[in-house]
Amino acid sequence: MSDGRIDFLYLNEKDMIEAGVLDAGRCVDVMEEVISLMGKGDYLMGGPDHNAHGLMLEFPKKSKIQGFPLEDSRDRRFIAMPAYLGGRFHVAGQKWYGSNGRNRAKGFPRSILMATLNDVETGAPLCYMSANLLSSIRTGAMPGLVAKYFAKDKVGTIGIIGPGVINRSSMRAFMAKFPDIHTVKMVGSTPESKTAQKMKSFIEEHFPQVSDIRICANVQEAVKDADIVCEAASVTYPYWPELKYEWLKPGAVVISTNGLNISWEDELKFSKVVDNWGMYEEYAQEDGDEFHPDGTRKNAGTIGEDFVYMVKDGLIQRDDVKNLADVVNGNVTARENKDEIFLVSIEGMPIQDVAWAYECYHAALKKGIGTMLNLWEKPYAL
C-alpha cells in the first residue's frame, strides 16, 4: 500500500520544447505506433463505440441572454478529448481546449490547449502540460506517416492547400522523412495571403534544401506535378477548396485534414484511405443525410464522411476504403500500382495526443524538466 501521496509533473510550453515536442520525425514514428495499436484495437476513445473524437461545447449562433457566448468567430468552441492508449504506453489522458478566431488579435494562438496524462489504474494525474505544440506536431506527423506508406519511392514536390500552422507542421514531418524534397507549391486564400508568405519564410529558414518555393494563384497550379498534396484549409462549408482528379499527377497522394470540395464522380476515381473508419461512421450518424433540392446528396466535405455515405448509397463497397492501420500492420497492401492516386482522409484523434504527451512526459522526467506539484500528502477523509 502506498501512503496515498500524489505528485504530478507540470510542463509549460518552454518545458515541452526542451522535452522534444518539436521533433517531427520522432513524432511520425510514434504516430506509426499509435495507428498500429489502433488497428489492433489496443485503445479506447470516448463513448460506447470507443471512437468518439471528443465532447464539444457548441456555442449557439444567437441567444436572448445578454452576454451569452456565441458562435460569432472562427472555430469558437471547447472540446474535451479523452482516450486510453495501450501497448508500451498503457496510459489514459485527455486534451482540453478552447478556440476563438479573435484570439490572434490579443496575441494568443487561436486555440489554447492543455493535456493531462493519468495512471490508467488509479486515475491519478501524472502530468499536466501545455498542448499547443504537442497538438500541432502530432497533427502534422499524420500526413508524414500517410506519405511514408502511400507515396511513390521518390518524393520531390509537395503541394500545399492551406499554408497555415497545420501545414507548417506537416512540412516538418515531410522534410524529416523525405530529405529529397526540392519543390513546395502552395495556395492560400488569395495569392497575397499572409499565411502563404509566412510558409515561404518558414521553409526558407528551416529547410534551405528546398530550392523552389512557389505561391500559386489557384489549387490547380499548386497540385500540378505534386507527389504529395496536403490540404489543411481552415475553412468551413461552402468554402472548401475545389479539387479535380484530372489536375493530379498519376501516383499522387492527396491528404485531406479538413475539407475538400470534390465531385462525387471524381471522388469515385481515387483509391480511398481513412485513418479510422469508425470515427467517420459516427460523424455521418451525427450529421444525418442531407440532399440538394434535386435529390443528389450533399458532400460532407470531410472526405472520410463522404466515403461512409458512398458505401451507404451503394456507390462503393466497404472494402474499397483502406484503413491506414491495416496498411501499417501489414494486413493490406498500400499501393497496388504506380499510377493510382490516393485520397486519404485524416482527422485528429485523442489517442495521438496521449501518445505524444506520453513521449514528452517521459523525456521530461528523464531530463529533469518541469515543475513537480503536490496534489495531496494524504487524501482528506471527507
Query: Looking at 3-11, 174-182, 265-273, 328-336, which segment touches its own copies (CB under 8 A)?
Result: 3-11
| Distance (Å, whole) CA 139 – CA 254 | 16
Query: Looking at 116-124, 179-187, 290-298, 359-367, which segment touches its own copies (CB under 8 A)?
Result: 116-124
**Least CB distance to its own copies at residue 275 (A):** 20
Residues 6+ apart with CB under 8 A from 238: 261
Query: Looking at 27-35, 63-71, 253-261, 355-363, which segment touches its own copies (CB under 8 A)?
Result: 63-71
For the chain, the 3-state helix, strand and coil shares in percent, each to the nearest 5, are: 35, 25, 40
Pairing outcome for strands 125-130 and 6-11? parallel
Residue 207, Ramachandran bin (φ over 0: left; ψ between -120 and 50: alpha; else beta): beta
Q: Of residues 51, 136, 195, 276, which one binds its own copies by CB under 8 A?
A: 136
Please answer whether residues 195 and 163 qualify as being in contact, where contact means their C-beta atoms are separated by less than 8 angstroms.
yes
* By CB under 8 A, residue 100 contacts its own copies: yes
Q: What is the x/- site pattern for its own copies, positions 167-186, by CB under 8 A?
A: -xx-----------------
Of residues 8-47, those binding its own copies (CB under 8 A):
10, 12-14, 17, 40-42, 44-47
Number of helical (H) and strand (E) elements in the chain, helices listed first: 11, 16
Angle 132-112-30 from CA coordinates, rounded to 5°: 25
Please answer whether residues 179 and 209 qualify as being in contact, where contact means their C-beta atoms are separated by less than 8 angstroms.
yes
Q: What is the x/- site pattern for its own copies, positions 267-286, by CB under 8 A?
A: -------------------x
Return the number of the residue (33 or 340) whose C-beta is nearest its own copies: 33
* By CB under 8 A, residue 299 contacts its own copies: no
| Distance (Å, whole) CA 266 – CA 107 | 41
Return the number of the residue (126 or 308) whose C-beta is nearest its own copies: 126
* By CB under 8 A, residue 111 contacts its own copies: yes
**Which cell is 135 given?**
497538438
* By CB under 8 A, residue 238 contacts its own copies: no
Q: Of residues 165, 187, 243, 325, which one binds its own copies by CB under 8 A?
A: 165
For residue 371, what are the β-bridge partners? 10
Query: Looking at 107-115, 228-236, 306-314, 323-331, which segment touches its own copies (CB under 8 A)?
Result: 107-115
Q: What is the x/- site pattern for its own copies, positions 360-379, by CB under 8 A?
A: -----------x-xxxxxxx
Burial (Cβ within 10 Å: 0-12, 13-18, ≥19) of residue 215: buried
How many residues lie near its own copies (CB under 8 A)? 85
**Least CB distance to its own copies at residue 263 (A):** 29
Q: Residue 128, Cβ neighbours under 10 Å: how many?
A: 20
What's the Cα-to-Cα distance from 313 to each of 261, 305, 307, 310, rounded to whole Å?
Answer: 19, 12, 10, 5
Return the number of the residue (123 or 293) whose C-beta is nearest its own copies: 123
Return the number of the residue (101 or 156) whose C-beta is nearest its own copies: 101
| Distance (Å, whole) CA 155 – CA 249 | 12
Q: Of residues 61, 62, 67, 366, which one binds its own copies by CB under 8 A?
A: 67
Q: Of residues 18, 74, 96, 245, which one binds its own copies by CB under 8 A?
A: 96
| Distance (Å, whole) CA 18 – CA 63 | 44
Query: Looking at 88-96, 179-187, 226-234, 313-321, which segment touches its own copies (CB under 8 A)?
Result: 88-96
| Distance (Å, whole) CA 141 – CA 123 | 28
Q: Of residues 36, 101, 114, 245, which one binds its own copies by CB under 8 A?
A: 114
Q: Of residues 61, 62, 121, 333, which one binds its own copies by CB under 8 A?
A: 121
* By CB under 8 A, residue 288 contacts its own copies: no
Return the number of the residue (17 or 315) whose C-beta is nearest its own copies: 17
| Distance (Å, whole) CA 158 – CA 182 | 9
Return the number of the residue (94 or 157) whose C-beta is nearest its own copies: 94
| Distance (Å, whole) CA 139 – CA 167 | 9
Q: Of residues 28, 34, 38, 125, which one binds its own copies by CB under 8 A?
A: 125
Specify the DSSP element, H or E, that contains 36. helix 24-39
Please answer whether residues 224 and 231 qualify as being in contact, where contact means their C-beta atoms are separated by less than 8 angstroms.
no
Q: Of residues 28, 92, 243, 363, which one binds its own copies by CB under 8 A?
A: 92
